Amino acid sequence: MEKKGLGLVLFLTVAVVGLSVVVRPHAEGPLPQEGEVNAAASITLYPVADSWVDFHDPSHNHGKANFLYVGYGKQAGSSLEWLGRALVRFDLSAIPHGMVIQSATLQLRLMAYYDSIYGSLTINMHRITSNWSEGGVTWSAQPGHTTSAYSSASVGSTYTWYSWDATTLVREWYAGTYPNYGMMLISTLENADIGRAFVSREGTDDPRLLITYGTPIPTRTPVPTRTPTRTPRVSPTFTPTRTPTRTPTSIPTRTPTTSPTPTFTARPTRTPGPSPTHVPGTVKQLWLPVVFVGWTLR
């Protein structure tokens, strides 16, 4: 209870005293890059409006408070208690047109806490769905918000910066998907004795939105590599020339010329003539033909 009292005293002191707005440069290194861009640039934005609303004081506006309270809190030794939700809005017009949002992170610095037994508090970040003003918003007149959270952070009791991933939300705002009404931080344990107070833009450490963006790399339409269609080389079909079957020329059977059988002229049979009658006293020379084969003697 003594620890809780110290936290509460610090909280109440800050709430009552208040601090003037301090305008100062914030040197922030580039966040890890995501996506494909030609060149990355980082920008730190600060709220154009922030406030918190209190369930136990539903008609009171806290737009000038130097803190933003989320969750439940109670003052020791009194009946004073509160249940708060924080609202923050940033102007994205400083981001040039046509950029790619690589990352966006919402950061708030813890300045006080109320915690009986839990040790840490999970706080969800929701998108606000309707308009509101820093000087006019109250619990009874608070704007709507998404049912589902965009991101969450576990907030302990160390006085340091706590972060929520706002990449998707900022991309939607930048693209015009939804109007930019800011974000609302809501405790996941609104019915428990635990709450956290963060520095508002009226304090010394303003809430901030760290954004990394770049120019998009145009999608290159790949020029199809023309794969030459290889015209198949037609191998000539070897049609074998049919060697004509040589019809053997019949060698004519030589008909032997019949040598004429020589006809022999038969020697005439000499018919003996009558024996000459020898007439004595008369002599005559008688020539008789003699026939030979082939020739005649005379």
H or E, element range at 73: strand 67-74
Tokens of 108: 């708030």
Structural domains in the chain, CATH included, are: 2-19+44-216 (2.60.120)
pLDDT score, position 235: 60
Give the rounded percent of residues in the chain with a pLDDT score beyond 70.
60
CB 90 within 8 A of CB 209: yes
- Determine which helix (DSSP H) or strand (DSSP E) holds 111, and give its type and residue range: strand 100-115
Residues 229-259: tens digit of each pLDDT: 666 665 655 555 565 556 555 555 555 555 4
Q: What distance in Å separates the CA atoms of residue 81 and residue 211, rounded to the nearest whole number?
A: 36
Q: What is the pLDDT of residue 217?
A: 81
Say if residue 280's pLDDT is above 70.
no
Q: How confident is the model at residue 218 (pLDDT cuts 50, 70, 90)?
A: confident
Give which of 146, 68, 137 is closest to 108, Cα–Cα.
68
Are the C-beta atoms of residues 123 and 85 closer than 8 Å to each other?
no
* Mean pLDDT of the 148-163 span: 97
Average pLDDT, the chain: 77
pLDDT at residue 97 in the model: 94
Q: What is the pLDDT of residues 34-75, one digit of tens each?
A: 456 676 899 999 999 999 999 999 999 999 999 999 999 998
- The predicted structure's pLDDT at residue 289: 45
pTM for this prediction: 0.64
Q: What angle do CA 13, 15, 21 make, to 5 degrees?
A: 110
Which of 95-104, 193-202, 267-276 is predicted with the least confidence, judged by mean pLDDT?
267-276
Phi, psi of 97, deg, nearest 5: -70, 145
Whole-number pLDDT of residue 167: 98
Residues contacting residue 28 through CB under 8 Å, at least 6 positions apart: 42, 44, 210
- The helix/strand/coil state of 286 is coil
Q: Which has the closest alpha carbon to 80: 12, 176, 128, 149?
A: 12
**Structure confidence at residue 136 (pLDDT):** 98
Q: What is the pLDDT of residues 86-108, one digit of tens each?
A: 999 999 999 999 999 999 999 99
Beta bridge partners of 145: 128
Helices (H) and strands (E) in the chain, counts: 2, 13
Band the pLDDT of 116: cuts 50, 70, 90: confident
- 2-10: average pLDDT: 38
State yes or no: pLDDT of 176 exceeds 50: yes
pLDDT for 14 equals 35
- How many CA atoms within 13 Å lie on the side-chain side of 57? 17
* Residues forming a β-bridge with 151: 125
